Every structure is written in C-alpha cells, then in structure tokens.
Amino acid sequence: MSTELREAAARAEPRRKASPPRKRPEPPKRSQPPKRSESPKRSESGKRPEPPKAKRTQAERRAATRRRLIEAAVDVIYERGLYAATVATISARAGVTSGAFQYHFPERADVLVEVIHAMRSRIENEMSSLRLNRRSLEERIAAVCGLYWRIFGGRHYIAAVQIQLGTMNDPILVRFVTDAIRQIERDLDARWVDVFSDVALSADDLSAVRYVALAAIRGMVIRQTVPTGKNRWVRERRVLIEMVTRMLRRMPIR
C-alpha cells in the first residue's frame, strides 16, 4: 500500500477516544470510637477546680451579714473593751457599711443584747453535743466541767461579762442584758439537774453544787487573764471534779 493510500485510510478511520484513567477504590473508613467526655482540667497544683457555688438568696445574705456583725461586736469588745465597740468600729470589723449595721440593728444597744443571745445559743449547742448517757458519775462531772471551762473561758462569755458590767448604769439596757443572762442561768441549771437526776439530792441541792462549781471555774477563768506563765487548769480541774463528785455522792445537804 502506497504512502498516500495509508494516509487516506488513516484519515477515514474514526479516532478512538482515550478512556479516562481508572480511579482506585478508596479504602473503607474506620469507625471512630465515641469521644470521651473531657474531664475538667486540673490546675497546676493537680487539684480539680471546684464546681461553682450556688448563689445565696437575699435572706441568706442578710442572715450572714447579721452573724458577721454579732461576731465583730464580740471581737471588738473582747480585744478592745466595751467602749471601743461603736457602730463604726463594729461595721469596719465586719466589713460592712454603717448603713448596713443600722439596717440590722437600729441602735448600738441592740447588737449588745444580741451578743448575749448568741452566747446562749452557743451554750445550748455545746450542751446538746454532750453524749452523757450510760456514763459514770465522774465522767459526767468531767464532761460538764470541761464544757463550763470552754464556755466561760471563751471570748463570747468575756464579752458578755463586759457588757453586763458596762451597762449597769443604763436603766433600760441593763434590764434586757440581765434578763438574757438570767435565762442562760436557768437553762444551765435545768440541764445540770437533768444530767444528774439519778443522784440522791434534791433539785435545790443539785443547783447549789452547780453554783459552787461555776464560781470555781469562773474564778479560774478570771485568773487566767493575768499572765503568770503557769497553766494550773489540769491540776485544779482534777481537784474540782473530785470535790463535786464527793458533794454529789453525799446525803442531802443540811
């Protein structure tokens, strides 16, 4: 076949289209494991951050402010004396304004009376925490005397005593303070009689023993305010317990 014929045949023959390149099948996708819930990030100290605290209600905030003012009054009276416990100093110690003070306590005298009531609540809580069932007489006496020592040696009682002494010349305030302190004495007396109800003494005789024990403890507390470099409470506590035990074991006092 001549060159011309081959060229003519090539021109007459239809051109084949180039087939597109074959695509490789993609590998099946692997199923991803479920994502774990991210644990809260730890701080540099290694501790997990605490969850946000629930917001307090307005009533809770007011009650907290009132408690701060009462505790601030106790602190100021205990550390600096009654006459230093002004509205300004108590407010500053509590971290509130004088207006906030007057919202809760219209007069300075009101917070002073509340200090006495707060001490009464403190005594009630302490007395309720004692577990004296099935204890021996000596163990009960030791527990109650130890409680009296904590109460009357604490700043609440010292502040209450200063309020009582400092308001003696105020005819109105002294009545409220005296009534509150008398109620505390009645509560303590009733609790003492209940704790030692199995003793063969009358209620009056039991109360007389309590007054003697209280007088001794209060005297020790007052003496502790004068620094002597010695702590005699351990030895004197033992003597007091032995003395009260002997008195409670005796026949009715004549």
Stated pTM of the model: 0.67
Summarize the confidence of residues 47-57 as an average pLDDT: 71
At residue 49 the predicted structure's pLDDT band, cuts being 50, 70 and 90, is: low
Q: How far apart are the C-alpha atoms of 251 and 249, rounded to whole Å?
A: 7
What does the mean pLDDT of the chain come to?
Answer: 80
Residue with the bigger pLDDT between 100 and 39: it is: 100
Q: How far apart are the C-alpha atoms of 107 and 101, rounded to whole Å?
A: 9
Looking at residue 198, what is its pLDDT? 85
User: Which of 46-50, 83-87, 151-155, 162-166 shows the highest mean pLDDT?
Assistant: 83-87
Cβ atoms 187, 124 nearer than 8 A? yes
At residue 35 the predicted structure's pLDDT band, cuts being 50, 70 and 90, is: low
Residues 84-95 have pLDDT tens digits of: 999 999 999 999
Q: How far apart are the C-alpha atoms of 142 and 242, rounded to whole Å?
A: 9
What domains appear along the chain, each with residue ranges and CATH number?
Answer: 59-106 (1.10.10), 108-249 (1.10.357)
pLDDT at 254 over 60: no
pLDDT at 6 over 70: no
